[in-house]
Amino acid sequence: MPGGARPKFWYLLPNLFTALSLLGGFYAILASVAGHFIPAAWAILLAALCDSLDGTLARLTRTSSLIGGQLDSLCDLIAFGIAPIVMAYFWGLTSDSLAFLPPPWQKLGAVAAFIYLACGTYRLARFNVNTGSRDPSFFQGLPITGGAASLSAAVLWVDAPGGLLPPPYGLPLLILTLALAGAMVSNLDYLSHKHQKFFAKRRPWIYTAVAVVLAASVWVGPTKIFPPLLIVYLLSGPAATLLRRRQSKTPAAGGKSA
Protein backbone atom coordinates (compact mmCIF):
# COMPACT_ATOMS: atom_id res chain seq x y z
CA MET A 1 0.00 0.00 0.00
CA PRO A 2 1.22 3.60 -0.62
CA GLY A 3 3.56 4.97 2.00
CA GLY A 4 3.88 1.61 3.67
CA ALA A 5 0.43 1.91 5.27
CA ARG A 6 -1.02 -1.22 6.84
CA PRO A 7 -4.56 -2.48 6.28
CA LYS A 8 -6.72 -1.53 9.26
CA PHE A 9 -7.46 -5.20 9.94
CA TRP A 10 -3.79 -5.80 10.64
CA TYR A 11 -4.03 -3.46 13.63
CA LEU A 12 -6.98 -5.45 14.95
CA LEU A 13 -5.25 -8.84 14.80
CA PRO A 14 -2.99 -8.47 17.86
CA ASN A 15 -5.80 -6.88 19.87
CA LEU A 16 -8.12 -9.70 18.84
CA PHE A 17 -5.82 -12.26 20.46
CA THR A 18 -5.47 -9.99 23.50
CA ALA A 19 -9.26 -9.95 23.76
CA LEU A 20 -9.36 -13.75 23.45
CA SER A 21 -6.87 -13.97 26.30
CA LEU A 22 -9.13 -11.75 28.39
CA LEU A 23 -12.12 -13.90 27.44
CA GLY A 24 -10.28 -17.01 28.63
CA GLY A 25 -9.57 -15.39 31.98
CA PHE A 26 -13.17 -14.20 32.34
CA TYR A 27 -14.53 -17.64 31.57
CA ALA A 28 -12.08 -19.21 34.03
CA ILE A 29 -13.38 -16.95 36.81
CA LEU A 30 -17.00 -17.88 36.09
CA ALA A 31 -16.15 -21.59 35.84
CA SER A 32 -14.17 -21.51 39.09
CA VAL A 33 -16.98 -19.86 41.04
CA ALA A 34 -19.29 -22.59 39.70
CA GLY A 35 -16.83 -25.29 40.80
CA HIS A 36 -15.76 -26.35 37.28
CA PHE A 37 -12.02 -26.28 37.83
CA ILE A 38 -10.73 -28.38 34.93
CA PRO A 39 -12.48 -26.21 32.29
CA ALA A 40 -11.16 -23.16 34.14
CA ALA A 41 -7.60 -24.51 34.00
CA TRP A 42 -7.88 -25.19 30.28
CA ALA A 43 -9.28 -21.70 29.69
CA ILE A 44 -6.27 -20.14 31.43
CA LEU A 45 -3.84 -22.25 29.38
CA LEU A 46 -5.61 -21.25 26.16
CA ALA A 47 -5.47 -17.63 27.31
CA ALA A 48 -1.71 -18.03 27.76
CA LEU A 49 -1.45 -19.32 24.20
CA CYS A 50 -3.37 -16.30 22.88
CA ASP A 51 -1.18 -14.00 24.97
CA SER A 52 1.95 -15.46 23.38
CA LEU A 53 0.53 -14.81 19.92
CA ASP A 54 -0.63 -11.20 20.27
CA GLY A 55 2.87 -9.79 20.74
CA THR A 56 4.25 -11.99 17.96
CA LEU A 57 1.55 -10.80 15.57
CA ALA A 58 2.16 -7.18 16.52
CA ARG A 59 5.86 -7.55 15.69
CA LEU A 60 5.25 -9.47 12.47
CA THR A 61 2.71 -6.95 11.19
CA ARG A 62 4.65 -4.01 12.61
CA THR A 63 1.54 -2.75 14.37
CA SER A 64 2.93 -2.44 17.90
CA SER A 65 1.53 0.53 19.82
CA LEU A 66 1.62 2.00 23.30
CA ILE A 67 -2.08 1.41 23.84
CA GLY A 68 -1.66 -2.19 22.68
CA GLY A 69 1.05 -2.72 25.27
CA GLN A 70 -1.06 -1.23 28.06
CA LEU A 71 -4.09 -3.24 26.97
CA ASP A 72 -2.02 -6.43 27.00
CA SER A 73 -0.75 -5.72 30.51
CA LEU A 74 -4.23 -5.04 31.91
CA CYS A 75 -5.60 -8.19 30.30
CA ASP A 76 -2.66 -10.16 31.72
CA LEU A 77 -3.58 -9.02 35.23
CA ILE A 78 -7.09 -10.41 34.81
CA ALA A 79 -6.28 -13.57 32.84
CA PHE A 80 -3.10 -14.58 34.70
CA GLY A 81 -3.42 -12.76 38.01
CA ILE A 82 -7.05 -12.75 39.09
CA ALA A 83 -8.40 -15.77 37.17
CA PRO A 84 -5.84 -18.38 38.30
CA ILE A 85 -5.90 -17.31 41.94
CA VAL A 86 -9.72 -17.33 42.01
CA MET A 87 -9.53 -20.85 40.56
CA ALA A 88 -6.89 -21.89 43.11
CA TYR A 89 -8.80 -20.35 46.02
CA PHE A 90 -12.09 -22.11 45.35
CA TRP A 91 -10.27 -25.33 44.44
CA GLY A 92 -8.12 -25.73 47.52
CA LEU A 93 -7.50 -22.58 49.56
CA THR A 94 -10.84 -22.05 51.26
CA SER A 95 -11.30 -22.49 55.00
CA ASP A 96 -12.94 -25.87 54.36
CA SER A 97 -9.87 -27.09 52.46
CA LEU A 98 -7.67 -26.01 55.37
CA ALA A 99 -9.98 -27.33 58.06
CA PHE A 100 -7.20 -29.51 59.49
CA LEU A 101 -5.49 -26.32 60.72
CA PRO A 102 -6.49 -24.40 63.88
CA PRO A 103 -9.35 -21.94 63.13
CA PRO A 104 -7.22 -18.76 62.90
CA TRP A 105 -4.85 -20.46 60.46
CA GLN A 106 -7.65 -21.58 58.17
CA LYS A 107 -7.62 -18.06 56.71
CA LEU A 108 -4.11 -18.59 55.37
CA GLY A 109 -5.54 -19.60 52.00
CA ALA A 110 -7.09 -16.18 51.50
CA VAL A 111 -3.86 -14.52 52.64
CA ALA A 112 -1.79 -16.62 50.22
CA ALA A 113 -4.23 -15.82 47.40
CA PHE A 114 -3.84 -12.09 48.04
CA ILE A 115 -0.05 -12.37 48.23
CA TYR A 116 -0.03 -14.16 44.87
CA LEU A 117 -2.20 -11.46 43.30
CA ALA A 118 -0.10 -8.65 44.78
CA CYS A 119 3.15 -10.24 43.58
CA GLY A 120 1.70 -10.83 40.11
CA THR A 121 0.61 -7.19 39.91
CA TYR A 122 4.05 -6.03 40.98
CA ARG A 123 5.64 -8.41 38.45
CA LEU A 124 3.66 -6.82 35.60
CA ALA A 125 4.47 -3.28 36.77
CA ARG A 126 8.19 -4.08 37.05
CA PHE A 127 8.18 -5.60 33.57
CA ASN A 128 6.53 -2.49 32.09
CA VAL A 129 9.00 -0.16 33.78
CA ASN A 130 12.10 -2.21 32.88
CA THR A 131 11.17 -2.87 29.23
CA GLY A 132 14.00 -1.60 27.07
CA SER A 133 16.50 -1.31 29.93
CA ARG A 134 17.13 -5.01 30.60
CA ASP A 135 18.57 -7.86 28.57
CA PRO A 136 15.53 -9.13 26.61
CA SER A 137 17.04 -12.62 26.50
CA PHE A 138 15.86 -13.29 30.06
CA PHE A 139 12.83 -12.43 32.13
CA GLN A 140 13.44 -11.00 35.59
CA GLY A 141 11.50 -13.34 37.81
CA LEU A 142 8.91 -15.92 36.83
CA PRO A 143 6.53 -14.47 34.21
CA ILE A 144 2.98 -14.14 35.47
CA THR A 145 1.85 -16.46 32.67
CA GLY A 146 4.21 -19.09 34.10
CA GLY A 147 2.60 -18.74 37.51
CA ALA A 148 -0.89 -19.02 36.04
CA ALA A 149 0.07 -22.03 33.92
CA SER A 150 1.59 -23.73 36.98
CA LEU A 151 -1.62 -23.37 38.99
CA SER A 152 -3.62 -24.62 35.99
CA ALA A 153 -1.28 -27.58 35.58
CA ALA A 154 -1.73 -28.43 39.26
CA VAL A 155 -5.49 -28.59 38.75
CA LEU A 156 -5.15 -30.76 35.65
CA TRP A 157 -2.58 -33.04 37.24
CA VAL A 158 -4.32 -33.53 40.57
CA ASP A 159 -8.05 -33.05 39.97
CA ALA A 160 -8.31 -35.10 36.77
CA PRO A 161 -9.57 -38.72 37.02
CA GLY A 162 -6.82 -40.80 38.62
CA GLY A 163 -5.16 -37.66 39.92
CA LEU A 164 -1.92 -37.55 41.86
CA LEU A 165 -3.31 -36.54 45.26
CA PRO A 166 -6.59 -37.18 47.06
CA PRO A 167 -8.48 -34.11 48.31
CA PRO A 168 -8.17 -31.85 50.17
CA TYR A 169 -5.27 -30.14 48.43
CA GLY A 170 -4.97 -27.24 50.87
CA LEU A 171 -1.46 -27.56 52.24
CA PRO A 172 0.38 -28.45 48.96
CA LEU A 173 -1.53 -25.73 47.11
CA LEU A 174 -0.77 -23.20 49.84
CA ILE A 175 2.95 -23.93 49.52
CA LEU A 176 2.82 -23.83 45.71
CA THR A 177 0.94 -20.52 45.69
CA LEU A 178 3.44 -18.81 47.99
CA ALA A 179 6.39 -20.29 46.07
CA LEU A 180 5.03 -18.98 42.77
CA ALA A 181 4.41 -15.57 44.32
CA GLY A 182 8.01 -15.42 45.53
CA ALA A 183 9.36 -16.56 42.17
CA MET A 184 7.48 -13.80 40.34
CA VAL A 185 9.04 -11.00 42.39
CA SER A 186 12.48 -12.63 42.56
CA ASN A 187 15.54 -11.77 40.48
CA LEU A 188 15.77 -15.25 38.97
CA ASP A 189 16.51 -15.37 35.24
CA TYR A 190 13.96 -17.18 33.09
CA LEU A 191 14.73 -17.76 29.42
CA SER A 192 12.80 -15.47 27.11
CA HIS A 193 11.50 -16.28 23.63
CA LYS A 194 13.45 -13.17 22.53
CA HIS A 195 16.78 -14.88 23.28
CA GLN A 196 18.33 -14.42 19.82
CA LYS A 197 21.48 -16.51 20.32
CA PHE A 198 19.58 -19.48 21.68
CA PHE A 199 16.64 -19.55 19.33
CA ALA A 200 18.20 -18.15 16.15
CA LYS A 201 20.89 -20.85 15.98
CA ARG A 202 18.65 -23.70 17.06
CA ARG A 203 15.36 -23.00 15.33
CA PRO A 204 15.16 -26.33 13.49
CA TRP A 205 15.88 -28.17 16.73
CA ILE A 206 13.43 -26.01 18.69
CA TYR A 207 10.64 -26.58 16.17
CA THR A 208 11.36 -30.30 16.10
CA ALA A 209 11.32 -30.47 19.90
CA VAL A 210 8.01 -28.58 20.05
CA ALA A 211 6.49 -30.92 17.46
CA VAL A 212 7.66 -33.96 19.43
CA VAL A 213 6.26 -32.57 22.67
CA LEU A 214 2.90 -31.77 21.09
CA ALA A 215 2.70 -35.21 19.53
CA ALA A 216 3.64 -36.83 22.84
CA SER A 217 1.02 -34.78 24.70
CA VAL A 218 -1.68 -36.02 22.34
CA TRP A 219 -0.51 -39.61 22.73
CA VAL A 220 0.23 -39.66 26.46
CA GLY A 221 -2.39 -37.11 27.49
CA PRO A 222 -1.94 -33.37 28.12
CA THR A 223 -2.83 -33.68 31.81
CA LYS A 224 0.15 -36.00 32.28
CA ILE A 225 2.79 -34.26 30.23
CA PHE A 226 2.11 -30.54 30.81
CA PRO A 227 2.77 -30.50 34.58
CA PRO A 228 6.23 -32.15 34.34
CA LEU A 229 7.18 -29.70 31.60
CA LEU A 230 6.15 -26.79 33.80
CA ILE A 231 8.16 -28.21 36.69
CA VAL A 232 11.21 -28.26 34.43
CA TYR A 233 10.50 -24.65 33.44
CA LEU A 234 10.11 -23.54 37.05
CA LEU A 235 13.46 -25.13 37.93
CA SER A 236 15.12 -23.59 34.87
CA GLY A 237 15.07 -20.16 36.54
CA PRO A 238 17.39 -21.04 39.44
CA ALA A 239 19.56 -23.11 37.07
CA ALA A 240 19.91 -20.29 34.52
CA THR A 241 20.60 -17.75 37.28
CA LEU A 242 23.36 -19.89 38.79
CA LEU A 243 24.91 -20.51 35.37
CA ARG A 244 24.89 -16.82 34.40
CA ARG A 245 26.45 -15.79 37.71
CA ARG A 246 29.19 -18.36 37.30
CA GLN A 247 29.86 -17.14 33.76
CA SER A 248 30.04 -13.53 34.94
CA LYS A 249 32.69 -14.50 37.48
CA THR A 250 34.78 -16.42 34.93
CA PRO A 251 37.72 -14.33 33.63
CA ALA A 252 37.61 -13.58 29.92
CA ALA A 253 39.83 -15.66 27.66
CA GLY A 254 43.34 -14.33 27.60
CA GLY A 255 42.76 -12.23 30.70
CA LYS A 256 44.49 -12.47 34.04
CA SER A 257 42.73 -13.93 37.00
CA ALA A 258 43.02 -12.18 40.31
Write out pLDDT tens, residues 185-219. 998 888 775 544 554 554 555 555 655 665 555 55
The CA-based angle 46-51-53, given to 5 degrees, is 100
pLDDT computed for residue 40 by the predictor? 96
Confirm if 107 and 138 have CB atoms less than 8 A apart.
no
Q: Cα(122)–Cα(208) distance, rounded to whole angstroms?
A: 36
Q: Cα(54)–Cα(38) distance, rounded to whole angstroms?
A: 25
Backbone angles phi, psi at 98, to 5 degrees: -110, 30
Range of the domain at 85: 2-194+201-225
Kindly report the CATH number assigned to the domain that includes residue 59.
Answer: 1.20.120.1760
Q: Cα(234)–Cα(164) distance, rounded to whole angstroms?
A: 19
Q: Cα(117)–Cα(6) distance, rounded to whole angstroms?
A: 38
pLDDT 10s digits, 28-75: 999 999 999 999 999 999 999 888 876 666 666 666 666 767 788 899
- Inside any domain, residue 251: no
pLDDT computed for residue 148 by the predictor? 95
Count of domains forming the chain: 1
- Inside any domain, residue 257: no
Q: What is the SS3 string spanning the chain?
A: CHHHCCCHHHHHHHHHHHHHHHHHHHHHHHHHHCCCHHHHHHHHHHHHHHHHHHHHHHHHCCCCCHHHHHHHHHHHHHHHHHHHHHHHHHHHHCCCCCCCCCHHHHHHHHHHHHHHHHHHHHHHHHHHHHCCCCCCCEEECCCHHHHHHHHHHHHHHHHCCCCCCCCCCHHHHHHHHHHHHHHHCCCCEEECCCCHHHHHHCHHHHHHHHHHHHHHHHHHCHHHHHHHHHHHHHHHHHHHHHHHHHHHHCCCCCCCCC
Percentage above 90 pLDDT, the chain:
34
pLDDT computed for residue 134 by the predictor? 64
Position with higher pLDDT, 69 vs 106: 106
pLDDT 10s digits, 126-170: 988 877 666 666 788 899 999 999 999 888 888 766 555 656 678
pLDDT computed for residue 209 by the predictor? 61
- Inside any domain, residue 249: no
- Inside any domain, residue 54: yes
pLDDT computed for residue 169 by the predictor? 73
Q: Count Cβ atoms below 10 Å from residue 199 Cβ, excluding itself.
A: 15
**Prediction pTM value:** 0.79
For the segment 104-113, the average pLDDT, to the nearest whole number, is 92
